Amino acid sequence: MTESRMADLDGLRMHYLIDGAGPLLVLLHGWPQTSHCWRHLIPALAAHFTVVAPDLRGYGHTDKPATGYDKRTMAADVRALARSLGHDRVLLAGHDRGARVAHRYALDHPGEVDRLVVMDIIPTREMWRRYDMTTGLAAGTWHWTFHLQPDLPERLAGQDVRGYLGYFFDKWTVQRSRLEVDEYVRAFERPGALRAGFEDYRASFPYDAEHDDADWEAGRRLELPVLALWGAAGLPSRVPVLDIWRDYALDVRGAEIPDCGHFLAEEQPDAVLAHLRDFLLPRD
């Protein structure tokens, strides 16, 4: 049975869901969501793993400090949670912003991550390199540059949280009725939640960019197996997802999820579950 718990990680109180027993599988949500987005997958995966789905720093029931939204710090939060549960090796699966945290975790601690799943993203460095109208990434991700602005997103989106988040849940989905939008609206109406989500994006410059460029210039690539999944109607479908990831990792496989937008785990949970089982479970 899935339990809701809190962990005190050197002053950061992190909320997480936990179920099952076995190797640790950590599921990391994106924006504008929380750990709730994994609700369809946790029970089935818990038959094989200790499944942990935290609310990332600034999200859901986790604390919302003013700083620490660079992906290195957010990955360190997740690592501290894993260590607090007695695990020094993990399997990671992340969606959207959570996939960026998972990517950073695997880069910073390569000997501790056995397999990595990234859902509906290409590497952050590639997003900025390909941010133009010819690929469609600029038109599809205008919110990245909007969220970088100080104070303004909070002022405007704070006037109508449901309307602002609802725009993305509508535009980014195929199976809209499968998302529990009210749950996420309540989460982002909590004090500090909007600001924290925008700080996640604001950390792109200079912090995340500096870390990503340093890795690239040093020739650092992921050596562990990587699975990339994306929705057929998701933004990554406009670019060669696997070819891009193969510049950043040595062992990459992946698949497009049919009849699906951005929110894979909620729009097409059965298809995602099948891919996760095939990738994560040992073969005889």
CA distance 132 to 137: 6
62 in Cβ contact with 55 (< 8 Å):
yes
Q: Which of 29, 103, 211, 262 is catalytic?
A: 262
CA distance 139 to 137: 6
Give me 123's structure tokens: 């590497």
* φ, ψ (nearest 5 deg) of residue 27: -110, 125
Angstrom distances, CA of residue 75 to CA of 21, 91, 97, 183, 245: 23, 13, 11, 25, 20
Tell me if residue 170 is catalytic. Answer: no
Scored b (16 or more CB within 10 A) or e, 218-242 reads eeeebebbbbbbbbebbbbbebebb
Q: Which of 96, 120, 208, 212 is catalytic?
A: 96
Q: Which residue has the tokens 């980014």?
A: 172
The torsion region of residue 249 among left (phi > 0), alpha (psi -120 to 50) and beta comes to beta
Tell me if residue 262 is catalytic. Answer: yes
3-class secondary-structure state, position 154: helix
Q: Where are the alpha helices (DSSP H) in 130-239?
A: 137-140, 142-148, 152-157, 161-171, 181-188, 193-202, 209-217
The residues annotated with a catalytic role in the active site are: 96, 262
